[in-house]
Amino acid sequence: MSLSVKMSSKHQIVVPREARDALALKAGDRLLVTVRDDSVVELEREPADLVAELEGLFAPLGRNVWPELGE
């Protein structure tokens, strides 16, 4: 899906309804903005609990990567 938006004089854009619906966004939701290759901007919904989302990220390593945390 590609949708055209116009940046305001305050450097703001409106996320089009089609994109909001596709991501099930509502007022107050936070988005992560990623810039790739100096010309591509990606928007994705920020997880409500970013810590929980990252939990277990290193589990496939089969070892504790932060032994000072006592686990």
pLDDT for the residue 23: 87
Residue 2 lies in a domain: no
Look at the pTM and tell me if it is higher than 0.85. Answer: no
Q: Which two tokens stand for residue 1?
A: 């899906």
In terms of residue numbers, what domain contains 53?
A: 17-69
pLDDT for the residue 43: 87
Contact, 45 vs 25, CB < 8 A? yes
The domain total for the chain is 1
Run means of pLDDT, 10 residues per run, the chain, 71 residues: 92 94 90 91 81 66 61 54
Q: Which two tokens stand for residue 3?
A: 């949708």
Q: Which helix (H) or strand (E) holds 51?
A: helix 50-54
Residue 8 lies in a domain: no
Q: Which two tokens stand for residue 54?
A: 């990252």
Residue 58 lies in a domain: yes
pLDDT for the residue 68: 66
Residue 52 lies in a domain: yes
Residue 9 lies in a domain: no
pLDDT for the residue 38: 87
Residue 65 lies in a domain: yes
- CA torsion angle for 47, 36, 59, 53 (degrees, to 10)? 0
Q: Which two tokens stand for residue 40?
A: 């591509």
Residue 12 lies in a domain: no
